[in-house]
Structures are given as C-alpha cells and as structure tokens.
Amino acid sequence: MACERVFVYGTLRRGGSRPIPKLFADAEFLGFGTLRGILYDFGAYPGFVPDAAGGWVRGEVYRVGHEALARMDAIEAWNPRDIAGSYYWRKLHTIRMDDGHHLEAWVYECNPNRFDLSTLIAGGGRYDVIFWTEHFEKGMGEVLARVQTPHPVDLAAIPRFNESEGHGPKRAHPVSAYFDDLSRHLMWEIYRKDFQLFGYDFDDPDHKEPKRPIDLDEVHAKLAS
C-alpha cells in the first residue's frame, strides 16, 4: 500500500530518463510543487541543495510504497548508515503545491562533498558577480578579488578576441550592417529576455556598451520564475 510522499525534480520526473510512472506502476501522482533551494547541473542529472534565499525549484510529487522508496534510495545512492558516503540524502521538506496547499514529502538532496557545485540550473541559484565580456578585465578582477586561486592570474596575459575591447581583428562593417529587418526580428524573439535582463541596446546594434548596470536582484527573480 502506498504510504510515502516524494518530491522529484530530475530524472525521476515524467519526461526524465527514468520517470517514476514507468518505474513504479502503482505510484500515485499528486501534482506539481516547488520548494526553495538551488538546482545544480551535473550533466546527466541535477542535484538539489536547500537554500531559504534560493529560487523556487519545481518538481512533481508522488505517493509511493515502501519498496518503491527503497529502490529510489538505491537509485540515488542514499544510505542512512553511511551519510558521508552517500551521494544524495533523503530528507523531509515542506512542498508548496500549485493549488496553494502545503504538504511534507521526501526530497533527495545532493551531498555537496560528492559533487562540483558550480553549474546552476534556471529555477534555482544565486550569483555573487555577473559582468559583461565588454568589461572583462574589470569584471574578472572583481571575481578574483573574492576567491583564492592556487596560482596567480595575470588578466593582461589572457587571450581575448572581443573586438569591442580592442582585441582581435576589426570588423569590416558596423554591427548593424550584418542584420536586416527579418534577422533583427528573429534575434529579438530569441534573445529578448537577455537584452532586457542585461541592459543591451537592441534598438542600436552599433551601441556596444550596455545601457545600465546589471541588477542582481532582478536576475535572481527571473531565474526563480
């Protein structure tokens, strides 16, 4: 008899490489929900880390039996007798369901000591610094000032081919000459959110400089949407 609720956000979701409905025929789908945290990209699968200041991570909630839950523990490499050695930890979290009510469900958190937590997935995550490639030296200088590197980094010695900073070959024509009305329309349809979020001037392609500073709060809000 099904008696455990579980929230899944990666390969166990419908459309994933091993969806719960295919693995466990008696699993009951309870709906979609979200919880606060950060979602990292590990290539073939994601990993969740709870964070009250993170974005809303979306997933599916199922009711499953004890045997199914034990099989999921094996899939996620969770062993309560070896917490440090487990790749994921199964913990109870409060899930905000799409219909507005809240419920408790098991969630598999990734063990941060087992993974490289460097690549974020939209739907969760926060950035300390975002900079434009047009201002590479200034922006990367701010990043390096916040971290310790095993070797000194000489920014001036890093190869760059960004014409707007004076590196690499000059364009034969201004940027606007490479786009007609149709291609500009397509660029806007595809990259509209990027133009708006990072402050680039779509109306004047020859204007290389962003029109305004990057608002990190706005970026975090959009990532969580």
Residue 106: both structure tokens together: 């098991």
191 or 23, higher pLDDT:
23
Range 36-41 contact pairs with CB under 8 angstroms and sequence separation of 24 or more: 37/124, 38/117, 38/120, 38/124, 38/125, 38/126, 39/9, 39/120, 39/121, 39/123, 39/124, 39/125, 40/110, 40/115, 40/117, 40/118, 40/119, 40/120, 40/121, 40/125, 41/119, 41/120, 41/121
Q: Where are the domains of the chain?
A: 4-110, 133-223
Query: For residues 69 and 77, is the Cβ–Cβ distance under 8 A?
Result: no
Give me Rg for the CA atoms of the chain: 23
Q: List pLDDT tens digits, range 110-154.
A: 998 888 776 666 555 557 788 887 788 888 888 888 888 888 888
d(CA 221, CA 52): 14
Strand-pairing partners, residue 97, are: 33
Query: For residues 2 and 26, is the Cβ–Cβ distance under 8 A?
Result: yes
The CATH code of the domain at 4-110 is 3.10.490.10
DSSP class per residue in 28-43: EEEEEEEEEEEEEE-S
Q: Which residues, 6 or more positions from 16, have their beta carbon under 8 angstroms from its beta carbon?
A: 10
Taking 90 as the threshold, does the pLDDT of residue 20 lie above it?
Answer: yes
Q: Residues of the chain with pLDDT > 90: what percent?
A: 34
Among 27, 131, 133, 121, CA closest to 71: 27
Categorize the per-residue pLDDT at 213 as very low, low, confident or very high, splitting at 50, 70 and 90: confident
Taking 80 as the threshold, does the pLDDT of residue 67 lie above it?
Answer: yes
Residue 107 DSSP SS3 = strand
Question: What pLDDT does 217 receive?
Answer: 72
* Average pLDDT value for residue range 33-56: 87
Question: What pLDDT does 221 receive?
Answer: 61
Residue 201: both structure tokens together: 């001037």
